[in-house]
Each structure stands twice: as structure tokens, then as C-alpha cells.
Amino acid sequence: MSRKLLVGHTAITWPDNRVEDAVKCCASLGFKAFETFGWVLAALKEQNRMDIFEKHGIPLVSSYFSLDIVNPDVRSDEMEKLELWGSILGGAGGKWVTFGGNGVPRRTFKLAEHRAYLVDFIHEAAKRLNEYGVRLNFHPHTGTPIETAEEIDELFGNADTDLIGFAPDVGQIEKGGADSLAFLKKYLSIVRLMHFKDYSGSVDFDADGKEIDTSGFTCYCPLGRGVVKLPEMIDILENSGFGGYIMIELDIGKNMPMTAEEAVTINRDYMVSQGYAF
């Protein structure tokens, strides 16, 4: 079984202040690409440490940017952050932004009240990032303005998909209540980057509506231990025109049952079992 796509890993399994540990581990395990947050890149730039990717021999190909995409009062400040992070990413040779919104009160949030502004904000953000040679790919995320199947459809039904790509996090989509395999098939033509994540299959909340982390990884789990149909997705991606990276991801939790290094090794070994060479 021969696979052609390149597999990377994100830094989200480690705290932000251990980003070099994440880079070193992912490189040592043979991952082909790396992703971290925009604010982490800004901190590395300020500390004159943007050389850590070259030092450990793994390219920075993408970065996750989270901004307030529903509040017009902070638009200027958010665009300023976007340009700073985009300039750092582009300057380091990165090509992809995995882009999402900040958290919102999901129990009362109504996308229809914010849709026009949200779409306009994302369009402007994409145009600004293009100036740095970086492509915006929207990333639905639980707890943010775009979480559910209906919200994903509403966004891409109103967005310019020549300007904006799709970076689905299949674990997040599954946790948000949708069939992530069906969404991959539906939007495959605009998928530019993948976040590969497994989901434990259920999420509970306390009396205050706060999520209870039953897995130690914010209800996610190492690849192959959850409910996401990962082998089917791999076959679809490998046999399509998709030319981006598969970026593996596993969210940090307060009570992780193993170290980040152990969890990421399980992720690597799972991808080996699916035919990928490291």
C-alpha cells in the first residue's frame, strides 16, 4: 500500500510555551510538516527563535489563526493581528492559514444575525493574507460561530470559495454533531488542508453548561481510538486531486492520560498502519 500525501502534526498537544519541544518531537518522529498558532509565531519572532523549524529539520507549512469575526468594534485590531501573524508565517515559507473564529456563547448565538459581517470579515482577511503569499482556509470549531453542519453550509453557501478554502477538522466536525465523512465528500473540491483528529464519541456538560473532559484530550483521543472514519477519508484524499497536507492533531487537556510525546507517537504509528512512510 503506497501513499503519496504528506503528513504533518500540529503543536496543540503541548502548551504554547513548549512549542520547541513540539517541533523537536514531531521532527524526530518523521512528520513532514508542522503547524502552530499565530500568537505563538509572534512570540517566537519577538524572542528571535523563528529558526527552531530549520534547527530541527521540519518545515512550518501552516498556522492556526483565531480571531473575533463577529464584533465590528474590534475589526481594526483583529486585522492588525492577522497581518502580523500572516507576515511572519509567509516570511517563514508557510503557505496555509487554518482560520477560525473566537469563542461565542453558543446557547444564545444566532449566525443569521452576524452572517453578513462574518463573511465580509473573512473575505477581507483572505485578501490581506494573499499579500503575504498565504491562503486562508476556514476551519469550523466547536464553541465558535461556525460549528454545526447548518452553519458550515451557510458559510460556504455565501463565501467566495475561489478566495477561501476549507480546512476541515474532522474530529471537531464530528463533535459538533455532523458526519465528517459526508462533509469531506461534499466539500472535497475546496479542501486545501486537513486536520486529522479522532473523537471519543460523546460529550457531557455540567450544570453550568461547561464541557466535561472525559478523555483527557477535551473529549478527543489518539488516532484510531475513536469514532471518526479515518481510513475511508484517507482513501478519498489519496484518490482525489487533493494536494495539501494531512495535519494530525490532538488537543491538550488538563488531565491527559499520557504525555504529549506518547500521544503523538500513537498518532504517527496509526498513520504508519495506514501505509504512510515516516
Better-predicted residue by pLDDT, 263 or 152: 263
- For residues 110 and 22, what is the distance between their CA atoms, to the nearest angstrom? 37
Higher pLDDT, 2 or 29: 29
The rounded mean pLDDT for the chain is: 93
What is the pLDDT averaged over residues 2-13? 95
- Rounded (10°) CA dihedral 146, 166, 272, 21: -70
Q: For residue 147, count CB atoms less than 10 angstroms from its CB and return exposed for 0-12, middle for 13-18, buried for 19 or more.
A: buried
Do the beta carbons of residue 28 and residue 55 sit within 8 Å?
no
How would residue 175 be classed by pLDDT, with cut points 50, 70 and 90? confident
Question: pLDDT class for 106, splitting at 50, 70, 90?
Answer: low
How buried is 33 (Cβ within 10 angstroms: 0-12 exposed, 13-18 middle, 19+ buried)?
buried
- Residue 66: pLDDT band by 50, 70, 90 thresholds? very high
Q: What is the mean pLDDT of residues 179-201?
A: 94
CA distance 84 to 91: 11
If DSSP codes are grouped into helix, strand and coil, which group holds residue 246?
A: strand
Instruction: Measure the CA–CA gap between 4 and 25, rounded to whole angstroms.
Output: 23
Mean per-residue pLDDT, 18-42 = 98
Whether residue 198 contacts residue 224, with contact meaning beta carbons closer than 8 Å, is answered with yes
CATH of domain 7-273: 3.20.20.150
Ranges of each domain in the chain: 7-273
The larger pLDDT score, comparing residue 45 to residue 174, is at 45
Give me the count of residues in the chain: 278
Nearest to 24, CA basis, from 38, 12, 34:
34
Residue 25: is its pLDDT beyond 80? yes
For residue 151, give the C-alpha cell. 452553519
| Pairwise CA distance, residues 174 & 180, whole Å | 5
State the pairing for strand pair 220-221/198-199: antiparallel
CA torsion sign, 21 to 27 to 29 to 35? positive
